[in-house]
A and B are shown apart, each in its own frame.
Chain A
């Protein structure tokens, strides 16, 4: 797993001017959409920023959707602790006591988007572990991971389902969620290679990779 240290901005920042929406095609979403279109009364957990489009898309098809912006929740300053080596970390136990508190095996689909890339290191594994327990057996989780080529200043997006295989992306920053916490942009915390991703989802039954053109690796995992 590689960590970034640079703070140089790139041309991506200007391209991702806040509020501007970009579109991209997503093969993994297309696969997920088949399920959303063909099955009734699914229970979906969206871990991205509140997306009216996603709520509309899911509810119009008779599904229940839960919206839970974990990245914003992780910016709560009171979560800050020091680990056993004295390095700054976040209190993962408290974080999980206060977030993702749902009955086990409740969800058919979890939309994780690019959460793992921007979430603090100390929270990633505990969160994925909790998500495993929240998914029904056979349930699916969609996640995006940047490749090394994306660079450390790859902008953090919220994702809106347009339909078919099309996603709309909107740049987000800290403080957009109105829940307090420090303002500023979310930084890519690390790059997961294929092996890292496989390890992260080792408890899941299957994992499928889709390599996109925009330096993003899409992953669809099944519990």
Chain B
């Protein structure tokens, strides 16, 4: 699969570290560190070559170029490129794993995932509708209050 152009993705740069729940209604490119969970139902997630993610991720499409320690749930497609190091289970409709990728975990192909996740995606979309109507998509970070104390 051709890697999507990331210009329109929300970016988390190399020097950024996030701990907590990351959710949003736009495509996201993570080249920094995320620990917690990533919820992008209906949108795409790319973990860039410098990205280090320790989180369960849920998105429409997931591309891993860096490191991921956590489960992937991708309603359409999951892809591990040759530089990927992924430890965790993948549940998706379609999977592509490039020669050279390291993967430890389960691959479970579920053909009706898009339907099953449809309701959840719709709910996520409606919850962000207000923000979208006011001129933009949303990205939220909910940190654990106990973190950093």
Rounded to whole angstroms, the CA-CA distance of A66 and B106 in the bound complex is 4
Q: Mark A57-68, 1 if CB is under 8 A from B, else 0.
A: 011001011111
Any A CB within 8 A of the CB of B109? yes
Any B CB within 8 A of the CB of A69? yes
How many chain A residues touch the partner (CB < 8 A)? 16
Chain A residues whose CB sits within 8 angstroms of the CB of B95 once the complex forms = 55-56, 59
Rounded to whole angstroms, the CA-CA distance of A177 and B85 in the bound complex is 9
Of the residues B96, B103, B106, B109, contact of A50 by C-beta under 8 Å: B103
- Asked whether, in the complex, the Cβ of B97 is within 8 Å of the Cβ of A64, the reply is no
Chain A residues whose CB sits within 8 angstroms of the CB of B118 once the complex forms = none
Any A CB within 8 A of the CB of B99? yes
How many chain B residues touch the partner (CB < 8 A)? 15
Chain A residues whose CB sits within 8 angstroms of the CB of B112 once the complex forms = none
Any B CB within 8 A of the CB of A178? yes
Q: A37 to chain B: closest CB distance in Å?
A: 17
Any A CB within 8 A of the CB of B129? no
- Asked whether, in the complex, the Cβ of B107 is within 8 Å of the Cβ of A69, the reply is no
- Asked whether, in the complex, the Cβ of A50 is within 8 Å of the Cβ of B101, the reply is yes
Of the residues A52, A68, A178, contact of B97 by C-beta under 8 Å: A52
- Asked whether, in the complex, the Cβ of A65 is within 8 Å of the Cβ of B98, the reply is no
Chain B residues whose CB sits within 8 angstroms of the CB of A185 once the complex forms = none
Given contacts A59-B109, A62-B109, A178-B85, contact A67 B104 (CB under 8 A): yes
Interface residues of B in 94-121 (CB under 8 A from A): 95-99, 101-109
Rounded to whole angstroms, the CA-CA distance of A197 and B99 in the bound complex is 32
Q: A168 to chain B: closest CB distance in Å?
A: 11
Of the residues B85, B102, B107, contact of A55 by C-beta under 8 Å: B107
Closest A residue by C-beta to B98: A52
Question: Which of A59, A64, A67, A178 gathers most chain B CB within 10 Å?
Answer: A67
Rounded to whole angstroms, the CA-CA distance of A52 and B81 in the bound complex is 11
Interface residues of A in 61-100 (CB under 8 A from B): 62, 64-69
Chain B residues whose CB sits within 8 angstroms of the CB of A65 once the complex forms = 106-107
Query: B-side interface residues toward A, CB under 8 Å?
Result: 85, 95-99, 101-109
Query: A-side interface residues toward B, CB under 8 Å?
Result: 50, 52, 55-56, 58-59, 62, 64-69, 177-179
Among all A-B residue pairs, the 9 with the closest Cβ atoms: A52-B97, A59-B109, A50-B103, A178-B102, A66-B106, A64-B108, A67-B103, A65-B107, A178-B85
